[in-house]
Amino acid sequence: MYAEMAPNPELVTHRGGCHCGRVRFEVDAPARLDVLDCNCSICRLTGFLHLIVPASAFRLLSGESELSEYRFGTGVARHLFCRVCGIKSFYIPRSHPDGVDVNVRALQRETIAAITSTAFDGEHWEQGAAQLPASAGGWNDERG
Ligand SMILES: [Zn+2]
């Protein structure tokens, strides 16, 4: 799916956050979003729709002190959720520990032109991860 994207799609600034509004962020991404729908043990429970971006494209505006962290398995992924309302609006993923994985369900709809969802077989993570783009977000990360 990422191979079919334009190399440098025009980016817009999406805004999102948790349910109670304490955690708020901005993320630069295309208006037409390619997202991953993962079936692993935790994503299945949360319904998380993945938009993986370079850390440079993500800005946490508020709520850092409200974030709780949950780790399991390999402990690489940092699952972050608002300790007040419990919503996981973004986290640091195992596949791209130098990037940020945003929950598209936590974004405001106004800036989203379209969402194309692709199933990711996170239940068999090692096989599925080989199909992920090497660069977070599918466009060139200037940081390498
Ligand atoms: Zn909250």
State pLDDT tens for residues 57-98.
999 999 999 999 999 999 999 999 999 999 999 999 988 899
CA of 8 to the centre of ligand 1 (A): 33
CA-to-CA dists, residue 133 to 15, 67, 108, 141, angstroms: 24, 28, 25, 11
Does residue 118 belong to any structural domain of this protein? yes
How far apart, in whole angstroms, are the C-alpha atoms of residue 140 and residue 133? 10
Interval between CA 126 and ligand 1 midpoint (Å): 32
In CATH, what number is assigned to the domain containing residue 42?
Answer: 2.170.150.70
Q: Does a structural domain hold residue 143?
A: no
Give residue 66's domain range. Answer: 12-137
Number of domains in the chain: 1
Q: Which helix (H) or strand (E) holds 93?
A: none
CA distance 81 to 134: 26
Tell me the CA–centroid distance for residue 69 and ligand 1, in Å. Answer: 13
Ligand 1 centroid – CA 76 distance (Å) = 23
- Could you report the per-residue pLDDT of 12-71, keeping only the tens digit for each? 999 999 999 999 999 999 999 999 998 888 998 999 999 999 999 999 999 999 999 999
Residue 50 lies in a domain: yes
